[in-house]
Amino acid sequence: MPKPQDLLIPRPRKIELTGGTMPLTALHAEAPEPLATEMRAADTLFRQTRLFGEALPCRLSLDVELPAEGYELVIAADGVRITGGDRAGVFYGIQTLRQLLEGAQNARRGELVALRIVDAPEFHWRSCMLDSARHFQSAAQVREVIEVLARYKFNRFHWHLVDHFSWRIGFNRHAEMLEPFPGHARSTGYYTPEEIRDILAYAAERHIEVIPELEMPGHSSGVFAIHPELACPDGTPIDVTRCEYCIGNPASRRFLGEIIDETMELFPGIRHLHLGGDEASPRHWRQCPVCRNAIRDLGLNDERDLEHHFMTDLARRVLDHGVRPILWSSLRAYDPRIIMQCWGGRPLDPELNRGSLAGRRSMVRCQTAWIGAVAAAQMELALMRGADLINSRHDYTYLDYPMRRSEPHSLWMPDLTLERVYQFDPLPEETSAGRRRQVLGAEACLWTELITPDRVMEKLFPRLLAFCETVWTPGELRDWTDFRRRARHHRH
């Protein structure tokens, strides 16, 4: 019989065996009215675990003295007690109980060990991103992902919904963006307004905030198949792999402003909106007369300044809705109300696709070192400028990277083993005590250029288990050997 402490991921702060056991029998939740949703979650769990026999109570309550998202779970001979610092805390107590119940059932034990767990997260931004643009997952599959995130105490789901040739939001006023883009094969599918509302509600019941992403100004080439007037009139053909809006043209701001407004209607009540902002090349802007005039008229220095002006303008539109924008970090300073998500950037070296295999591998190793340096610089700058940040250093958190070389992957991708994910520290090195508050937490990302919907779970697990512990459990309580022992009980 595994010990209770060997069953739990993420590892709780404190676990105390109090002596004795509780019979593994039916349970029924009892809770005051404000915890009605959590009571339902507990009763659903008890139904799923198919426990029979005379029912014991599982009493849910709140105690404002406990930390935000924290909980206390007590298992005793006469039943279970879960007290949360808030509703989310109660919900996380239920998730811990789930793992203990499943562990006892898998070991065919007729009892639970009596104990007291006191727990609270280290970071309040525990996020996972799913790219539903490159490959489209059904609404049911998205709900499945949200369900597993909830079980591992994630509280945000970042949903990448717009990329080159695929727009996945069921816009009404810009329905033209949902037709297959002329001349470009892509996987079809989008989420209807009803599906989006369902997913928001499903996530909210699980204390997960949904953060949609509208990618701009890069990763947008498909748009110009429908709206050629929004590309730079620089005479160059539209490049399929990377193409940017003409940021000097007011029509681009108008179009994206309308898209932002409609997104707010389709995702009512959201608190954050991701505006992308990564990997835009200034190549077209440099040759474009419209962009050059805009740079001059606005008294700016160069294309990157114009990009900054463009993104600041659209971020302000988001702020006007009372919603906080998030951007993939650049080296530029932005309004500190904009959250910076730091991933690190990547040198796009054409040499990577040439030369011997050994040569290419060593190039990847160089890149990895380079990535680390860029990510560290991005984060240091963001902190210095007073910005809040989300750490998504891709050499630790990109779950599309291969865990083993035998998996399908692009050559430029570094390996990302389970152990390396476990070594991730959301707190950038050298964060001073005074700046600690600005590090909101971290996010693991599943990009899906190569990942078909049927492979989503296999790419998420087991590395998501390691990641969730890096954001929930304080560093001094993390131990790789101990984690591996616990991970055996979490197969997906």
Parallel/antiparallel/unpaired status of strands 14-23 and 111-119: antiparallel
Question: Residues 66-85: x/- map of binding to ligand TNX (CB under 6 A)?
Answer: --------------------
Considering only residues 181 through 210, tell me which ones interact with ligand TNX, judged by CB under 6 A. none
Q: Does 279 bind ligand TNX (CB under 6 A)?
A: yes
The CB-of-310 to ligand TNX minimum distance in angstroms stands at 17
Q: Give the shortest CB-128-to-ligand TNX separation in angstroms.
A: 14
Q: Is residue 396 a contact residue for ligand TNX (CB under 6 A)?
A: no
Nearest to 45 by CA among 281, 236, 205: 205
Residue 410-449 contact track with ligand TNX, rule CB under 6 A, x = bound: -------------------------------------x-x
* Alpha carbons 16 and 59: distance in angstroms, whole number: 19
Nearer to ligand TNX, 152 or 398 (CB): 398
Residue of 119, 395, 400, 469 that binds ligand TNX (CB under 6 A): 400
The residue among 102 and 278 lying less far from ligand TNX, judged by its C-beta, is 278
Q: Quick one: 175 or 348, whose CB is closer to ligand TNX? A: 348
Strand, helix or coil for residue 175: helix
479 is a site residue for ligand TNX (CB under 6 A)? no
Out of 343, 396, 422, 483, the residue judged to bind ligand TNX by CB under 6 A: 343
Sheet holding 79-84, edge to edge: 14-23, 111-119, 71-76, 79-84, 56-62, 27-30
Using CB under 6 A as the binding rule, whether residue 165 contacts ligand TNX is answered as no
Q: Residue 310: is it exposed, middle or buried by C-beta count within 10 angstroms (0-12/13-18/19+)? A: buried
Q: What is the spatial distance between Cα 112 and Cα 20, in angstroms, rounded to a whole number?
A: 9
Is residue 245 near ligand TNX by the rule CB under 6 A? Answer: no
- Among residues 159, 191, 328, 396, which is the contact residue for ligand TNX, using CB under 6 A? 328
Largest CA distance in the chain: 78
- For the bound state, the minimum distance from the C-beta of residue 346 to ligand TNX, rounded and expressed in Å, comes to 7
**Axis crossing angle, helix 139-151 with helix 193-205, rounded to the nearest 10:** 10
Q: Which is nearer to ligand TNX, 327 or 383 (CB)?
A: 327
Query: Cβ of residue 215: shortest distance to ligand TNX, in angstroms?
Result: 8
Residue 394 or 486 with smaller CB distance to ligand TNX: 394
DSSP assignments along 48-115, one per residue: HTT--SS-EEEEEEE-TTSPTT-EEEEEETTEEEEEESSHHHHHHHHHHHHHHHHHHHHTT-SEEEEE
Residue 109 in tokens? 């034990």
CA-based radius of gyration for the chain: 24
> Is residue 159 a contact residue for ligand TNX (CB under 6 A)?
no
Does 310 engage in binding with ligand TNX (CB under 6 A)? no
Q: Which residues bind ligand TNX (CB under 6 A)?
A: 278-279, 328, 343, 398, 400, 447, 449
